A = this chain, B = another copy of it.
Amino acid sequence: MPLVLNEEQNMLKDAAKDFCRNNMPITQLRKLRDENSEAGFDRETWSQMVELGWAGITIPEDFGGLGFGYTGMGVVMEECGRTLACSPLLATAALGAGCILHGGNDDQKNELLPRVAGGELLLALALEETPHHSPYGAATVAERSGDAYNVTGSKKFVLDGHIANKIIVVARSSGEAGDREGLTLVMVDSDADGVDITRTIMADSRNAANIEFSKVQGELLGEEGKGADVLDQVLDIGRILLSSEMLGGLQECFERTIEYLKVREQFGVPIGSFQALKHRAAQMFCEVELSKSVVLEALSALDESADDIAELSSLAKARLNDTYNLVSSEGVQMHGGIGMTDEYEIGFFMKRSRVCEHTLGSSAFHRDRYGVLQGY
């Protein structure tokens, strides 16, 4: 699997960098936060992203997408991560579209994917029921009723749940919480009867939702009881693309910190001349470089449907969690007092890093998973 970008991917990356810098810098996030934006992202900017094709990068051309692959989507996510850009990319284009692509039947794909690529359909994946990522932890019940399914249960931390048009619910038709068998994916309309959505604003100013489902009627996605087969694939896609976003964020945070070390003077010299800070900076550099490699490898694995996607996804997510935490904490510490102010942007990276860490699996989760996959 190649660990360098090809020419097309490099062009996409450059374009994404320009777009994010110009159209969704961190000042946009601050504005969305301070104005308590109803959507949590800017709909105008989203339309522009859709025009660039980003909502359908990984969707095959047959279904109205670009068919550009995961490495392509990864470089876009990375640039979004640099500016902490808020958009429905992860929830809709990675997780939601992934469920339809890997679980949906032809009708569903034909009907829904072009609408995703066209930016008009926003999706959310309602998975978690506890404060910790748990792919098979659903206790939410899916009951068959004729051709449809009724869903009852409560979900937490549903990314973009408050603005999705359709919600894909990870529910259970048999077994109990923790069982891999018996999971069933049911897609419901967010305005259907029995859906009660509470938007929750997180520390990074992004949105998740607590959602209650009471006998909500929806349609099956994939096979009854075999939802985990789809879910496993989709979650790995999500983890790897989120890792790409985190890679962008931590690089930006690291670069800003190095720059600050060069210009901030104390005791008559730039603080970057102090050896203790130099060594910590150099150690971070190593972690950043290792992070780039694992993300690239994991993206390539997705594009090539390699057989070690699961391992690489856990390798990437665990490493990116730890490195983003490290770099953002050191970023604040090395900026000193102004790093603690809301006015300065470095703190935004620290907040984002911790929310990312707990999205789709902490380091402890992924290290355990990696070990199990490797047989220890």
Complex-state Cα separation, A276 to B274, whole angstroms:
8
Chain B: minimal CB distance from A137 (Å): 23
Q: How many copies of this protein are present in the complex?
A: 2
Chain B: minimal CB distance from A271 (Å): 11
In the complex, A279 has a CB within 8 A of chain B: yes
In the complex, A275 has a CB within 8 A of chain B: yes
- Residue-wise interface mask of A (271-285) relative to B, using a CB-CB cutoff of 8 A (1 in contact, 0 not): 000111011000000
A274 partner residues in chain B, CB cutoff 8 A: 275
Query: Quick one: which of A274, A278, A279 has the most chain B CB within 10 A?
Result: A279
A275 partner residues in chain B, CB cutoff 8 A: 274-276
Interface of chain A, main secondary structure: helix
Complex-state Cα separation, A278 to B274, whole angstroms:
11
A278 partner residues in chain B, CB cutoff 8 A: 276
Minimum CB distance partner of A273 in chain B: B275
Chain B: minimal CB distance from A6 (Å): 40
Q: Which of A251-284 contact B (CB under 8 A)?
A: 274-276, 278-279
A279 partner residues in chain B, CB cutoff 8 A: 276
- Residue-wise interface mask of A (80-122) relative to B, using a CB-CB cutoff of 8 A (1 in contact, 0 not): 0000000000000000000000000000000000000000000
Complex-state Cα separation, A275 to B274, whole angstroms:
7
Complex-state Cα separation, A274 to B273, whole angstroms:
11
Chain B: minimal CB distance from A88 (Å): 41
6 example contacts (A-B, Cβ-Cβ < 8 A) are as follows A274-B275, A275-B275, A275-B276, A276-B276, A276-B278, A276-B279
